[in-house]
Chains A and B, each alone.
Chain A
Amino acid sequence: MAHEERMAEVMRSSYGRLLAILASTSGDILIAEDALSDAFAKALIHWPSDMPKNPEAWLLTVARHRLIDVRRRDARIDFRDELPEPQGPEGHPADIPDDRLKLMFVCAHPAIDARMHTPLMLQTVLGLDSEVIARAFLLPHTTMAKRLVRAKRKIRDTAVAFQVPDREDLPARLTAVLEAIYAAFSQDWMGDGPLAQEALFLATLLVDLVPDDAEVLGLAAVIAFSLSRDAARVDGDRFVALEDQDPSKWNTALIHRATAYLSRAQALGHIGRFQLEAAIQSVHADRLHTGITNWPALVQLHLGLSHIAPTIGATVSYAAALGKVGKPDEGLAALLRIEAKVLAGFAPGQATRAYLLAELGRIGEAVAAYEVAIALTQEPALRRHLEGKRAALGAQLM
């Protein structure tokens, strides 16, 4: 049994690394996937009786043979199926190059439909099943599977380059990779879905591959900070807002890791969106030691974020922070900068509006805004949280 577990572990941990090598040499993810699954199938047959010293190198050799076989078959030449030496090639994993960064750049390539960047990365770098990916993106499995194949065909048929972009293109291309990882994370920001841990793995991998980029470090910090609060985010069946969470339930190991990423990012002296988001998270995490939340600092950071990355979410968070420093009127004014139609359909915006109205004593309007927010919210724990807020206000109205 331990043997089988070890085999499964080798396969899981080496999947992306091996696929990246096979795909970047062939320029074809589809053929690389076939060759790798063929190698895994052969391993299942041969390893139980003869586990190679270096399983990764064994798999790579078998898969490469398979790639050559397929080429020969396409060229209508006879071939002989060969297995590597029983003990596998000598040499250790360090000899196997890491092409995963190239693969990540291909997955988030501007010639590929942006909606497919994250699914492609999850499938090729992590080996995630298309069914799991489809579920996370709320799509039928066949639809997701078809889109993945279409994207891989485009990569092959248009000869997308498996390379690290040159200096001129690098910033924009790296941003696309970061956004794809962030999308995996935000798909599962409650931390209970299949993608949150995967996003942390991808962000950590990117830190290893690009160790001196402030935004790469910032993203890893954001995700680690968020995951550190998994156990505190839900109480029973109800969502708990960050400022109401019990810090003793936070994962201090992840907070340390996140803080270390953030310090490295800050030392590089270049402010970006993810670093600012991480700084915001870090202020919240400080409550673990200080017992209080430094809201004035958060107002400044949220203001900075809404300038550097003017998204609706950033404006809403800034407005909420203003409420916490006794300026709910300014918070409401900030919300008005969002287009009315957009705000009307954005649940966090409506919830924040409700909170700010309640702070101003406009209870009736606040209850109405909570009702809109509840109607826009699907997630059960979040709904119960909002319903609790509304009920508390309703009691005041009685």
Chain B
Amino acid sequence: MRYTFLTYSRPEDFANVPPEELGQLKGLFGAYIGSLKAAGILVGVDWLQPVSNATTVSDGGDRIHDGPFAETKETLGGYMTIEVPDLDTAISWAKKCPMAKYGAVEIRPTAMDA
């Protein structure tokens, strides 16, 4: 089954993280993505710019506004999609994701197979 990891964090939590640790985090992420690739389960991945750079289109395209769809403390920072047999395998991979330590990883199974 295909599962997408949505990584959430609070931007304010990163405000006080020293630059060298942020650099380290990038390295950790690279290694993590590498391990997903090596396991042959990675379907897609992206890492997103902050919500301050978000543009939202709604009302059938009539409304375009600056900013995210919903103003929340926790923001979506990126996603990874993997193909594994079951939720338990997905959970074991999500536990290894660096964002499980700095924020949270929401696991959502695909609805396209149904």
Closest-by-CB residue of B relative to A165 is: B88
Known contacts A111-B87, A157-B109, A169-B92; can you find 15 more A-B pairs with CB under 8 A? A27-B86, A110-B91, A111-B91, A157-B114, A158-B1, A158-B107, A159-B109, A160-B86, A160-B87, A160-B88, A161-B85, A161-B87, A161-B89, A163-B88, A165-B88
Tell me which residues across on chain A come within 8 A of B107, comparing CB atoms: 158
A161 touches B86 (CB 8 A): yes
Interface string of A145-167 (1 = CB under 8 A from B): 00000000000011111010100
Interface size of A as a range: 10 to 19
Q: How far does the alpha carbon of A27 sit from the alpha carbon of B1 in the complex, in Å? A: 12
Q: How far does the alpha carbon of A158 sit from the alpha carbon of B89 in the complex, in Å? A: 11
Tell me which residues across on chain A come within 8 A of B85, comparing CB atoms: 159, 161
Interface size of B as a range: 10 to 19
Q: How far does the alpha carbon of A158 sit from the alpha carbon of B106 in the complex, in Å? A: 13
Give, as a whole number of angstroms, the nearest-CB distance from A176 to chain B: 13
Give, as a whole number of angstroms, the nearest-CB distance from B100 to chain A: 14
Q: How far does the alpha carbon of A159 sit from the alpha carbon of B89 in the complex, in Å? A: 10
Residues in chain A within 8 A of chain B (CB atoms)? 27, 110-111, 157-161, 163, 165, 169
In residues 81-114 of chain B, which contact A (Cβ within 8 Å)? 85-89, 91-92, 107, 109, 114
Residue in B85, B88, B89, B114 whose Cβ sees the most chain A Cβ within 10 Å: B88
A159 touches B86 (CB 8 A): yes
Which 8 A-B pairs have CB atoms at the shortest separation, nearest pair first?
Answer: A161-B86, A161-B88, A159-B86, A159-B1, A158-B87, A158-B109, A160-B87, A159-B87
Q: How far does the alpha carbon of A27 sit from the alpha carbon of B107 in the complex, in Å? A: 19
Tell me which residues across on chain B come within 8 A of A165, comparing CB atoms: 88
Closest-by-CB residue of A relative to B86 is: A161
Tell me which residues across on chain A come within 8 A of B114, comparing CB atoms: 157
Closest-by-CB residue of B relative to A163 is: B88
Give, as a whole number of angstroms, the nearest-CB distance from B77 to chain A: 22
Give, as a whole number of angstroms, the nearest-CB distance from B93 to chain A: 13
Tell me which residues across on chain B come within 8 A of A169, comparing CB atoms: 92
Give, as a whole number of angstroms, the nearest-CB distance from B108 to chain A: 9
Q: How far does the alpha carbon of A192 sit from the alpha carbon of B4 in the complex, in Å? A: 47
Can you list 20 A-B pairs with a CB-CB distance of less than 8 A? A27-B86, A110-B91, A111-B87, A111-B91, A157-B109, A157-B114, A158-B1, A158-B87, A158-B109, A159-B85, A159-B86, A159-B87, A160-B86, A160-B88, A161-B85, A161-B87, A161-B88, A163-B88, A165-B88, A169-B92
